[in-house]
Amino acid sequence: MPQHEVVLVLDFGSQYNQLIARRVRENKVFSMIVSHDITAEEIRRMSPKGLILSGGPASIYGARAPKPKKEIFELGIPVLGICYGMQAMAHMLGGKVTKARKREYGHAELIIDDFEDLFDGLDNKIISWMSHGDFVSKLPAGFKKIGHTDNTEFAAIADRTRRLYGVQFHPEVAHTPKGSRIIANFLCNICRCQGNWTMQSFIDDTIKNIKNKVGKDKVVCGLSGGVDSSVAAVLINRAIGKRLICIFINNGVLRKGEAERVVKTFKKHFHINLKYVNSESRFLKKLKGVIDPEKKRKIIGHEFIRVFEEEAKKLGKIGFLAQGTLYPDVIESRSAFGGPSATIKSHHNVGGLPLNMKLKLVEPLRELFKDEVRLVGKAMGLSDEIVQRQPFPGPGLAIRVIGDITRERLDILREADVVVLEEIKKAGFYREVWQSFAVLLPIKTVGVMGDERTYENVIALRAVTSADGMTADWARLPYDLLERISNRIINEVRGVNRVVYDISSKPPSTIEWE
């Protein structure tokens, strides 16, 4: 149970749920996303300072419309209903919701009628973001209008006695520029939150919790060198010291210098009990002649688990397995809406759960969003090089050497990859783009070097902007940067005589080439 102030976000299926939770946390109030039909009793047990009912795609009159339990409005806990959340609240409390002839979608000018609490400190008119079909046409008893737009009479409503509030627009999105203030007002003026959830308090609580949970047992952790497993390892190490054993497996498809970097950081700097396992040959043997991307992924995933289990066995009795699971994974895996989407690529996370080890789990990051994990990492002394890292796929360079994987081809890609990273970083684009990397293509092209004809490899350069990796656009990198990268790769990397730039977006392409 949380030891700090918490606000619950009831999930009615909005694509903005996680955004709401993050906006709350930006105010140093912990937030959790819970199912829309959570009972009053369950809520009481968690003693939240406030409830936010999210938006959602349904219509309240739809056959399968998700509805909150009516009793939650009688708990005396402040409620803010957003869009569908407001309609659901109005409907449950005796108001009326009507189907609009036309969906309202986009910016709308909100005229504020009452500045007492929710809209404290705002101008008379603000830009709000609307996306709804239904609207509240009659207020439930006790409510009054506190804001309207040209189209929507009850764009914001309040029942101050019961501390129930509703907004038809979305304060959580950037398209409502003053939305953060509205959420801050709800937390501060209405829920009376102090804002005591800081990264330091998170670290202190988590270390305490890990100690309690693990007791005298040992914990094993698969370290990948990525942000999540690194931060998890450092946190657990702080809690239980040498009883955490990290296993770092060199799967043969790592970037240049990665293994040395990980050993140096975690063993030398953080004094973590780290076991470095060099399985390069073993993985490369399995990958020999494999062309199919999904097969590559499966082989690497399976082999990783096998090596991990073999190594873990050598450690004697182990009680727990540490994992860098994040909050979005937790929410998505239990979301009642949206169902699983089609598998485009089987994203085997290296470090995935070894299935038959029968270990209990320690997941110190399962309440955090990625940007919060970075803050924790930073506060624990991890360098920017680790906490600000671009995502790197579990199957590593295996899915960036298109076609057959050999040591020689991996080495060519590694050298090109170094150039890309160096130049992107030097030009200040590393954090601006979501990912930037080189891909080695399975074709050769003709070139001319001096007076000689060459017949060599092609490197594709891929750089994308993205918010979450689900959709992406190719990055408009400056021509001179592209030129430097191309020149350096062709001059410095033996076996490459051509560089091309990938200008496809996702969808319909994907970020990785395989």
Binding site for ligand XMP (CB under 6 A): 297, 345, 347-349, 391, 393-395, 435, 469, 506, 510-512
Q: For 333, how many CA atoms within 13 A lie in the half-sphere containing its CB?
A: 7
Between residues 95 and 394, which has the closer beta carbon with respect to ligand XMP?
394
Active site residue: 36, 132, 172, 311, which one?
172
Shortest Cβ 410–ligand XMP spacing (Å): 17
Active site residue: 5, 36, 83, 303, which one?
83
Shortest Cβ 177–ligand XMP spacing (Å): 30
**Active-site residue flag, 170:** yes
Between residues 171 and 301, which has the closer beta carbon with respect to ligand XMP?
301
Helix (H, G, I), strand (E, B), or coil: what is residue 139?
coil
474, β-bridge pairs:
464
Between residues 151 and 509, which has the closer beta carbon with respect to ligand XMP?
509
**Active-site residue flag, 83:** yes
Report the distance separating Cα 123 and Cα 430, nearest Å. 38
DSSP 408: H
Q: How far is CA 149 from the centre of its chain?
A: 34
Between residues 279 and 435, which has the closer beta carbon with respect to ligand XMP?
435
Q: Which residues contact 7 (CB under 8 A, 6 or more apart)?
A: 24, 29, 30, 31, 32, 48, 49, 50, 51, 52, 187, 191, 193
Between residues 154 and 304, which has the closer beta carbon with respect to ligand XMP?
304
Active site residue: 91, 132, 148, 170, which one?
170
Q: Which residues contact 283 (CB under 8 A, 6 or more apart)?
A: 251, 252, 253, 299, 300, 303
Shortest Cβ 272–ligand XMP spacing (Å): 22
Shortest Cβ 345–ligand XMP spacing (Å): 5
**Active-site residue flag, 246:** no
Shortest Cβ 393–ligand XMP spacing (Å): 3
Q: Which contiguous run of DSSP H or E holds residue 203?
A: helix 199-214
CA torsion sign for 117, 122, 124, 130 is negative
Report the distance separating Cα 228 and Cα 222, nearest Å. 11
Report the distance separating Cα 292 and Cα 289, nearest Å. 9
The one-letter amino acid at 201: S
Place of tokens 């007791």: 215
Contact in structure between 4 and 176 (CB atoms under 8 Å):
no
Show the CA angle centred on residue 144, arms to residues 139 and 145, nearest 5°: 90
Between residues 56 and 393, which has the closer beta carbon with respect to ligand XMP?
393
Between residues 53 and 231, which has the closer beta carbon with respect to ligand XMP?
231
Please write down the HEC assignment for all residues of 21-43.
Answer: HHHHHCCCCEEEEEECCCCHHHH
Residues classed as catalytic: 83, 170, 172
